[in-house]
Amino acid sequence: MAVKYDPQLGRYRQSKLTEGKAKGLIMNNIKNKLIQRVFAVVKRQSPYVVLQ
């Protein structure tokens, strides 16, 4: 699961849970964020850089 290995996504998940958002909605948002990252890497033709 991405939220275990990516601290940024883990913080995002935790903040949305504390706001009371539904877990399915949060996971859908995380999936979309991952897809956006993949397309950005392909478009830039450069390796993914982890930002802390």
Q: Which parts of the chain have pLDDT scores under 70?
A: 52
**What pLDDT is attached to residue 20?**
97
Expressed in percent and rounded to 5, the helix, strand and coil fractions of the chain are 75, 0, 25
**What pLDDT is attached to residue 48?**
86
Give the chain's mean pLDDT. Answer: 93
| 52 belongs to a structural domain | no
| 49 belongs to a structural domain | no
**What pLDDT is attached to residue 9?**
94
Give pTM, 2 decimals: 0.85
Contact 41, 48 (CB under 8 A): yes
- Give the domain extent around 32: 2-44
**What pLDDT is attached to residue 51?**
76
Q: How many domains does the chain have?
A: 1
